[in-house]
Amino acid sequence: MKGYDTLLEALKDLQRRGYTYDFNLKNHCVACASLKIEMQPEYFNVDEVHRFEGMSSTDDNSILYAISSKDGIKGTLVDAYGIYAENISEEMRKKLR
């Protein structure tokens, strides 16, 4: 897995490699607003995980997930380090570890 210096660099490279959709985290799934879909944990894979730490503040910490569905939809999910503190299901917590 390639290492990246910045979140923007990682997002650009992943997009170039076909991860073109933006996913948002919900309690029990990931959702893509542009496709109007929600994917349960058993329906997608986490292909890559990249962690970024802010230079000036821990509030700038983030995790980038490269996600692909069983039917070939590829996109990214960006979330703060506090993802596991969010109100998400145990299945989602396990999937994103």
pLDDT tens figures, 37-90: 999 999 999 999 999 886 655 556 889 999 999 999 999 999 876 544 467 888
Count of domains observed in the chain: 1
97 within a domain of the structure (yes/no)? no
Smallest CA-to-CA distance from 78 within 65, 69, 88 is with 65
- 2: in domain: no
Token representation of residue 36:
């109007």
For residue 9, what pLDDT is reported?
95
- Inside any domain, residue 1: no
The mean pLDDT of 12-37, rounded to a whole number, is 96
Within 8 A by CB and 6+ apart from 51, the residues are 61, 62, 63, 64, 81
- Asked whether residue 69 is domain-assigned, the answer is yes
Q: Is residue 81 part of a domain?
A: yes
86 to each of 3, 4, 10, how far by Cα in Å?
A: 26, 26, 24
* DSSP annotation of 15: H
> What pLDDT score does 57 carry?
53
Q: Which domain holds residue 17?
A: 7-92
Is 28 strand, coil or helix? coil
Whole-angstrom distance, CA of residue 90 vs CA of residue 16:
32
